[in-house]
Chain A
Amino acid sequence: MSERVDVDRRAFLQCMAWTGTGLLWSVSGGVLSSRPIGAEAAEAAGPPATFSFAQISDSHLGFKGEANRDVLATFQTAIARIRALDPKPAFLIHTGDITHAQKAGAFDTARQALQSAGVERTFYVPGEHDVFADGGAEYLERFATDPPGRGWQSFDYRGVHFVGLVNVLTYKAGGVGNLGAEQLEWLERDVAGLASSTPIVVFAHVPLWAVYPQWGWVTDDAGRALGYLKRFGSVTVLNGHIHQIMQKVEGNVTFHTARSTAFPQPAPGAAPAPGPMKVPADTLRGVLGIRELTYAAGRDALAVVDRTLA
């Protein structure tokens, strides 16, 4: 079993897909394909969308470096873009690194700004920047209240089962992203009673596939989580952390990493280390963005549209 997971991970790396901006991704019969957003109108004859939701990630409020001197401004632009989406997203998912260095007031600033997104509710999972200073005490007190716990959560929306996972609270020296036994046992119980035809959406900060382990862009026990999801016909996994778009299809599982609203990071291995990457000021907003996801009844997978802030 574990051997098979390792083979899968190698396969992940061999066929990592890179995209430019403004592409609509969809899955048909397990094959990932893309076309320019302008071609969306041609799809109008398809089945009507049941609902859409939005993903925002890596806002890093409090960052003051050269890569973006005003991360609050780009965050507010991202929120304005979400507010302008038509149809209106049912809810918003923030996939972590809300703050840059957990400085006082940053969480409040984020929450207040997100109130203007015009969505009924925002679901959060933490990034390591949200929990490193105090082991997650402040984050959990603010965000893990409904239900109170360790930050992981699940909910159902119009027949789709959503699962938010936390993979940044058990960092150890020399380690990488990790879910931990307690959360994995919870996940196994959480999905046990669901029909295999239930569409699943998983969201977490650090990618649940081996994007680039040398930089810690991996969750070491994700294989076990994905094992519990293997029987489901449609699984969509949404991550942040790496501040760039990557997709990967593995059986019925489609992985998507998101852009940041704050600054880009280098492509894997393209720099000595990960971290904020400086780009010419007039191109910055072209590498930041938000994501809109649409679930259409009767389709195999969610339609995913990434939009830049340019």
Chain B
Amino acid sequence: MGTSKAILTTIVTMAALLLVASVGAAAESAGTRVEIKAHGFDVPELTVPVGTTVTWINHDDDPHTVTSTDNAFRSPGLDTDETWAFTFTRPGTYPYYCTLHPLMTGTVIVRSGS
């Protein structure tokens, strides 16, 4: 009895660990990360499921911003190697640009469900 409970606990723990690992892997995948380099967003149009956190990282020597054209979000100035993340909780199309270099534009499309 005690042994089977211990085994069950172990299985649940392992499953939980696997779940955490997979979530971590998803967060690190290229799909939720936008690299800023040479005055451009490397994924100009990104499609993600609702609830996704998207992270932008600036690799340029110039500062940049990630600023929604309709005020849905607005990053501070991102200096070299700085990152900024935003979690999209509602479906929709979110165009954005850099307020320093307005020719830099991108869009995040957030789909309901997964």
A binds B: yes
Residues on A facing B (Cβ under 8 Å): 64-67, 100-102, 128-129, 132-133, 171-176, 215-216, 272-276
Q: Interface code B76-108, partner A: CB below 8 Å = 1, 0 otherwise?
A: 110110000000000000011101111101000
Residues of B in contact with A (beta carbons under 8 Å apart): 38-40, 60-63, 65, 69, 76-77, 79-80, 95-97, 99-103, 105
* Cα distance, A85 to B92, chains bound together (Å): 59
Please report the C-alpha to C-alpha distance between residue A100 and residue B62 in the assembled complex, in whole angstroms: 8
20 A-B pairs with C-beta separation under 8 A: A67-B61, A101-B63, A102-B77, A129-B100, A133-B76, A171-B102, A172-B97, A173-B69, A173-B96, A173-B102, A173-B105, A175-B102, A215-B39, A216-B101, A272-B38, A272-B39, A273-B39, A275-B39, A275-B60, A275-B61
Report the minimal beta-carbon distance from A111 to chain B, rounded to whole angstroms: 21
Chain A contact residues: over half helix, strand or loop, or mixed?
loop
Which label, helix, strand, loop or mixed, suits the secondary structure of the B interface? loop
Taking CB atoms, residues of chain B closer than 8 Å to A174 are: 97, 102-103, 105
Min Cβ gap B107→A in Å is 10
**Which residues from B are CB-within-8-Å of A173?**
69, 95-97, 102, 105
CB distance from A171 to the nearest CB of B (A): 5
A129 near B63 with CB under 8 A, answer yes
Q: Which residues of B contact A272 (CB under 8 A)?
A: 38-39
With A273-B38, A275-B60 already in contact, the answer to whether A176 and B103 are too (CB < 8 A) is yes
Minimum CB–CB distance for B46 against chain A, Å: 16
List of A residues within 8 angstroms of B105 by Cβ: 173-174
Once bound together, how far apart are the Cα atoms of A272 and B99, in whole Å? 20
Q: Which residues on the A side are within 8 Å of B38 (C-beta)?
A: 272-273
* Residues of chain B with a CB closer than 8 A to A215's CB: 39, 103
The residue of chain B having its C-beta at the shortest distance from the C-beta of A127 within the complex is B100
- B79:A176 contact, CB within 8 angstroms: no
* Distance of A234 from chain B, by nearest CB (Å): 33
For A173, give the chain B residue with the smallest CB separation.
B97
Contact flag A171-B77 (CB < 8 Å), given A273-B39, A273-B40: no
Q: How far is the CA of A21 from the CA of B63 in the complex (A)?
A: 29
- The residue in A64, A66, A275 that gathers the most chain B C-beta atoms within 10 A of its C-beta is A275
Given the known interface contacts A174-B102, A174-B103, A176-B103, the answer about A133 and B62 at a Cβ–Cβ threshold of 8 Å is no
CA distance A226 to B21 in the complex (A): 62
Evaluate contact between A176 and B63: CB separation under 8 angstroms: no
Within 8 Å CB of A132, what residues of B?
63, 65, 77, 99-100
* Whole-angstrom CA separation of A64 from B79 in the bound complex: 10
B80's partner among A65, A171, A175, A176 (CB-CB below 8 A) is: A65
Most chain A CB within a 10 A radius of its CB, from B40, B62, B95: B62
Q: Which residue of the partner chain B has the closest CB to A271?
A: B38
Is B77 a contact of A101 with CB atoms below 8 Å?
Answer: yes
Q: Which residue of A lies closest to B100 (CB)?
A: A132
Q: How far is the CB of A180 from chain B (nearest CB, A)?
A: 14
Bound-state CA distance A276–B61 (Å) is 6
Docked CA distance A46–B77 (Å): 51
With the chains together, A132 CA to B100 CA distance in Å?
6
- Which residues of the other chain, B, contact A275 by a CB distance below 8 angstroms? 39, 60-62
* B60 proximity list for chain A (CB < 8 A): 273, 275
Point out the residues of chain B lying under 8 angstroms from A65, CB to CB.
61, 80
Query: 6 closest pairs, A vs B, by CB?
Result: A173-B97, A273-B39, A65-B61, A273-B38, A276-B61, A132-B99
Given the known A-B contacts A101-B63, A173-B95, A275-B60, are A133 and B77 also in contact in the complex, defined by CB atoms under 8 Å? Answer: yes
Which B residues lie within 8 Å of A129 (CB)? 63, 100
Quote the shortest CB–CB distance from A66 to chain B (angstroms): 7
A120 to chain B minimum Cβ distance, whole angstroms, is: 32
Given A272-B38, A276-B62; 18 other pairs, CB 8 A cutoff: A64-B79, A64-B80, A65-B61, A66-B61, A101-B77, A102-B77, A128-B99, A128-B101, A132-B63, A132-B100, A133-B76, A133-B77, A172-B97, A172-B102, A173-B69, A174-B105, A273-B39, A275-B62
